Amino acid sequence: MGDRITYVGLDVHKDGIVVAVAEGGLRGEVREYGRIANTPAALRRLAGKLGQAGVRLRFCYEAGPCGYGIQRQLSALGHECIVVAPSLIPRRMGDRVKTDRRDAASLARLHRAGELTAVWVPDPGHEAMRDLVRARLDAVRALRRARQQLSGFLLRQGCHYGRPAWTKLHRRWLAGLKFEQAVHHIVLEDYIAAVEAAEERRDRLTAQIEAMLPDWTLAPVVAALQTMRGMALVNAATLIAELGDLSRFANPRHLMAYLGLVPSEHSWRYRTTVRETNWT
């Protein structure tokens, strides 16, 4: 009885979790368990009920917006739980019917067959630093959008600045603009205020990254990367926040594939993240 294994597929949503169970063995039954609330208490009760009589539980669910809290809770309870890469889940040709119950049952069945690819799960400290880095990226995008809106307004009014923008001279030029319609002065001031607010947000988050970096376990790796030419602190922190612990890659080829630097491999998130980091 102690060698019995049950594979549990979880289709996770904000308000609930649809559960399916696959008994161990190639011909083991795959059955629907039902739906539970997405709360720590409900998850604890589920694990306790399914894990009776010495049954070992192996959970899995797709990576998504709900994060890694379920994985951490189940691991703390002593159960194996993997988070699955959605893009690497095998799909049957022509199978276009997608429901929560079918997804949960498919996860349990594929997990039993060993056909799922698990993603790396960061520790809470690393995830917090990654969220901070991504918040700064959001601020950079917001700043770029605010500047584009201001530039578009000026273009419509026939105002052209033929030199590098967003310098002190450029700001003086903005402050000295005159319009025939008084409303346009209100619009200009609002756009300038939006740019300044976005700049303050970006700079504030940049300072927070610098302040939190010494307490991060991967701070030595970030410091080592900064010895490379053109690699500033924010760039290095962003790179390591997205990659995580480099030792998780078995060899350099795996790392290059993850970065999208190997033919037929793609990593849109990484390329976009690093490019936008430099758009300050």
Tens of pLDDT, residue by residue over 4-57, are 899 999 999 999 999 999 988 777 789 999 999 999 999 999 999 998 878 899
- Regarding whether 270 and 217 lie in a shared domain, the answer is yes
Same domain, 43 and 137: no
- Structural domain contains residue 219: yes
- Find which of 2-6, 119-123, 253-257, 275-279 is predicted with most confidence, using mean pLDDT: 119-123
Last residue of a domain, one of 91, 113, 135: 113
Q: Which of 243, 241, 223 is nearest to 231 (CA)?
A: 223
Across 183-210, average pLDDT: 97
Q: What percent of the chain has pLDDT over 70?
A: 90
The verdict on residue 48 lying in a domain is yes
Same structural domain, 95 and 192: no
Task: Supply the pLDDT for residue 162.
Answer: 87
Give the tokens for residue 236: 């290095």
Query: 246 in a domain, yes or no?
Result: yes
The Cα 117–Cα 156 span in angstroms is 51
- 201 and 136 part of one domain: yes
Q: Judge if 148 and 39 occupy the same domain.
A: no
Q: Examine the domain organization and report whether 49 and 181 are in the same domain.
A: no
Question: Beta-carbon neighbour count of residue 12 at 10 Å?
Answer: 22
The length of the chain in residues reads: 280
Is pLDDT at 263 greater than 90 in this prediction? no
Mean pLDDT of 149-153: 96
Classify residue 229: in a domain, yes or no.
Answer: yes
Q: Which residues in 107-118 are b (16+ Cβ under 10 Å) and which e? A: bbbbbbeeebee
The reply to whether 143 and 213 lie within a common domain is yes
Give me the domain span that covers residue 52: 5-113
Element (H, E) at 32: strand 30-37
What average pLDDT score do residues 163-185 get?
A: 93
**Does residue 270 have a pLDDT over 60?**
no
- Asked if residue 80 has pLDDT above 80, the reply is yes
Q: Is the pLDDT of residue 191 over 80?
A: yes
Looking up residue 18, the CATH number of its domain turns out to be 3.30.420.140
**% of the chain with per-residue pLDDT over 90:** 73
Number of domains composing the chain = 2
In a domain, 53, yes or no: yes
**Same domain (yes/no): 156, 17:** no
Question: With 70 as the cut, is the pLDDT of residue 272 above it?
Answer: no
| Count of CA atoms in the C-beta half-sphere (13 A) of 71 | 19
Q: In sequence order, what are the residues at sequence separation of 6 or more whose Cβ sits closer than 8 angstroms to the Cβ of residue 86?
A: 62, 63, 64
Both 192 and 131 in a single domain?
Answer: yes
Average pLDDT over residues 218-240: 93
State whether 145 and 264 are in the same domain: yes
Torsion-angle region of residue 8: left (phi > 0), alpha (psi -120 to 50) or beta? beta
In the chain, which residue ranges form alpha helices assigned H by DSSP? 40-50, 69-76, 100-113, 124-156, 168-175, 182-212, 219-225, 233-243, 252-259, 268-277
Cβ-in-10-Å burial (0-12, 13-18, 19+) of 237 comes to buried
Domain boundary among 113, 138, 172: 113
**Is 81 among the domain residues?**
yes
The DSSP result for 38-87, as a single string, is SSHHHHHHHHHHHTGGG-EEEEEEE--TTTTHHHHHHHHTT-EEEEE-GG
pLDDT of residue 268 exceeding 50: no
How far is Cα 150 from Cα 78, in angstroms, rounded to an integer? 55
In 3D space, the residue among 203, 166, 174 whose CA is nearest the CA of residue 190 turns out to be: 174
Do the beta carbons of residue 16 and residue 32 sit within 8 Å? Answer: no
* 262 within a domain of the structure (yes/no): yes
**Residue at 119 is within a domain:** no
Q: Do both 158 and 22 map to the same domain?
A: no
Domain C-terminal end among 113, 146, 175: 113
Q: Which SS3 state, helix, strand or coil, does residue 245 take?
A: coil
- Give me the residues paired with residue 11 across strands: 18
Query: Is residue 234 domain-shared with residue 160, that is, in the same domain?
Result: yes
Name beta bridge partners: 6.
23, 57
